Each structure stands twice: as structure tokens, then as C-alpha cells.
A and B are shown apart, each in its own frame.
Chain A
Amino acid sequence: MWRKPAEAKTSSQPAEIAVPPVAKKTAETPPVTENASSTPVRSAAATAGSASSATLPSSETSPTAPAPSLAQAVTPVPVSQPGARGISRITSGIRIKGDISGNDDLYIDGQAEGAFHFPEAKVAVGPNGKVKANIEAREIVIEGTVNGDLKASAGVQLGASSRVQGSLITPRIAIDDGARLRGKVEMTRANGGASTVATTAIVATAATATSGTPKAIAKASGE
């Protein structure tokens, strides 16, 4: 059986920040050095959920079956390929402090302080996440606690267990029942640029779906 070890999927460049690559389950991630400097976060290894995982099914391990040719073997998608996006994780029990930026998605389920700049990626704060930082990202999903301003170019989603204190600047927002928000909400145009009041909040979760005006519904259908 051809099996690609998870550790083999390393980026072409070493991690420049002390956020360890997630080679296995997140519980096994070594601790992160605090006071990380402002350097890009590289996704050094794929996680179990990553699209680049490359494990062949066990059915192909029959000793009598002809060895698969290289052409038949599943080739893992290198992290550096266009379209491939890894996920960096700050798991619970980890604290990180500093300005962090990157092009890959970031999942925070630990404690983080500083500033996060992921203009082309998604930043998610898990239910155990406690973040004291301004977050700027393409998409922001909050399930934990955030004390800071959120600025998204695509949209912000506040889950039922989220607690946010800070302003929101986003073209779209989705708020689940139970979400806590203390701050200003400012909607921007989807194309970014100067913040202006205009576009409607589009996404309505199942829990909060209510009747809306025809204008709002029409805009939602066009999204």
C-alpha cells in the first residue's frame, strides 16, 4: 500500500513563525513560542481535513494486485500549488502573542493577542478561542471570544457561542441566535474600498431566518 506520511507534505519554505505544523491530530501539537514576530505563517503540513491529504485506500494493498504505477498513485497537492490552501491552527492550551499575517487560513482555538492580517484567507475562532486582537481577513468566523475589531472583505459570521466586543466592518454578516456583540456594525461595499453604508446584511441563518423586505431577499438571491 502506498501511503504518504502526513509529515512528508512540507512546504518548500520552513515555518518562519513558531506555529508548529500540524502533522497529526491537533492534540499532539507542540507548544508555540510566545511573542512571535510579524512573519508569515506558513502551513507546513496538511491537516486531516486538508484537501491535500493523500492516503490511498487500503483496498489497494492486496499483495497479489499489481503494484500501482506512479501514474496511478495519488499525488499529493503541494502546498505551493495555486489553489491549495492549508490551515494553521492555534489549538486550545496554546497562547500566542504578536502580529501575525499569512495567506493560509487560520483557526484559533487557544489564546491569542496582537493583530491578525489575513486579507486573502479565512480566520476562524473556535469555541475555546480567546482573542484580544484586531482581525482583518477575507472571511471571519467567530465561535469563541474576541476583543477587537473585525474587518472582512467577504463576510463575518458570528456563531451562537460567540462573544465579540469591537466594531465590525464587512459587506456581509451572519449572526446566529445567542451570539453576543458589543460594538458598531458597519457594512461596506463588497468590492472593498472606502467604507460606506450601503449593502444589506445578506446571510440569514436557519435559526434567525425571518421575513425580510423584497429588496433584501432579491439581493440575497443574487449572492
Chain B
Amino acid sequence: MNWTAKTRIASTTTPTPAKPGNGSANAAPAAANANFRVSNGLKEFLLHLEDVRNPRILDLGQVSQATLNFFIEKGYRVTTEDLLRSWKEFLTAEEEGLRLAPVGNGGQKISQVYLAEKFIDTGLRYTEESFHGALGWDLLDYFDSELLPRVMERLYSLLLPSGVVLAMFHSKSAERFHRYRIVDTQTIEVLPAATLAVHAHVFQNREILDLFGKFRSSKTFVGRDQLREALFLK
């Protein structure tokens, strides 16, 4: 693997009309199913963990039978936490609490900073340096400016040295909400889903690098579907 410290290696991947990669026994014909997406980021993610014994990964997306099957078959230990949904439920609970609280009670100050810090105190509560890899999918596009750095900080602390994060970023505001699940070593199925959150921010490449500033190296893949895949190595 040719990792370059703090240097982006952008390569244009042609989503070969969604033809699943190796190892897929029941793959739908590529051209007939536009929901499959070739993922070089996933391929690199798996290559990075190939030599790790009993790798442990953290999946921050919605739990999926297919994704779970995929990793467990390879001998991975998977921890799953639907972080975006947890955040939304947390916000809903906080807003409900505020709505029911007496007016002017306690002088409690509510701010995005407060909510972000409170959420981080309750979410992603795992032993530090306990994961070899993390799948962030496109969640980072949906977190606000206060929560995002705190999530990154926590994520960094959860990864083992040389741990790797796979994240996706939309090059333009996502038209609809999607979930992702793994089909094989280099294919991801993109599934339209009920909107859980509104796309918060379109990251420029420089912003992505800054977001992962503590990581020592990165690799980016750009697809024609306006979805950028980024790998970051701790």
C-alpha cells in the first residue's frame, strides 16, 4: 500500500456500472442495478487489515445483516453503533426535555456546544485504542460543526496505532439519504433510506484533511457518483 503522509492521491474510479467485485456469487447484472458501487476505499480498508489477527472494527452505520456477515466470515469482531441515529434520538430527547421544563428554570444554557459535549459523554463509550478499523460511511456529512470535531477526537482515541478509518463525503449536497452495506471486498450497495438527517456540509478536500489532521496519512478516491472515499491512517 502506497500511503503518503498528508498527501492526497485522488484517482477517478469509474463505477463500472455497478458490477460487484470478486467473490460475489449472486451479483445482479451490473448495468441493471445502479445501487451497487465499486469501492476502492473498502478494498484498501480491507487490505490494510489483512495481516491483522482477529481484527476489531467499529461500524458507525446502521447495523446490516449483509455487512455483519461479510466481516464475521472473515474473522472480524464487529462492534456496531448507529451513531447518526443515536445523535438524532439524543437531540429529540433533549428538545423534549427543554419543552417540558418550566420556563426559566435553572438558567440552564443550551447550546450546540453543550449538546455535543453531552452526547459525546454518552456515545462511543469504548475502551481507548480498541479498534483496528472504523467505518464512518457518510455520517460525517451530517454532523454539525460542534459535534464533528468531538466525534473525530473520540474516534481517534478509539483506534489502535495504525488503525484505519474509511469515510465517505458527498461532493455536493446529497439529494436523498442513503444507507450502505457491503456486498463483497470492493462493492458497496447504496440503499435509499428514510431521511434521518439533513446533509449538513459539503466538505472541500482541504477541509477533509483538516478534519483528520491528527491522522498521519490519508488516501482519497473520487467516484463519478460524486462520492469521495477517504482512508485515514492513525
Interface size class, chain A: 20 to 34
Contact with B along A191-223 (1 / 0, CB 8 A): 000000111110011001011111111000000
Q: What's the Cα separation between A174 and B81 when bound, in Å?
A: 17
* Nearest residue, chain B, Cβ from A198: B75
Interface size class, chain B: 20 to 34
CB–CB B69/A201 < 8 A: yes
Contact with A along B178-191 (1 / 0, CB 8 A): 00010110000100
Say if the beta carbon of B26 comes within 8 Å of chain A. Answer: yes
Interface stretch (choices A5-13, A49-57, A146-154, A176-184)? A176-184
CB–CB B26/A211 < 8 A: yes
Q: What's the Cα separation between A184 and B63 when bound, in Å?
A: 11
Residue numbers in B under 8 Å from A182 (CB-CB) = 80-82, 86
CB–CB B81/A210 < 8 A: no
Say if the beta carbon of A74 comes within 8 Å of chain B. Answer: no
CB–CB B63/A181 < 8 A: yes
Residue numbers in B under 8 Å from A1 (CB-CB) = none
Given known A-B contacts A183-B80, A186-B77, A201 and B26 have beta carbons under 8 A apart: no
Say if the beta carbon of A84 comes within 8 Å of chain B. Answer: no
Say if the beta carbon of A173 comes within 8 Å of chain B. Answer: yes
Pick 18 A–B contacts, CB within 8 A, sort by A.
A173-B68, A174-B65, A175-B65, A180-B63, A181-B80, A182-B80, A182-B82, A183-B80, A184-B77, A197-B72, A197-B75, A197-B76, A200-B73, A201-B72, A201-B73, A211-B20, A212-B26, A216-B69
Contacts A213-B24, A213-B25 known; list 8 others, CB within 8 Å.
A175-B65, A175-B68, A180-B63, A185-B72, A187-B72, A211-B28, A211-B183, A212-B25
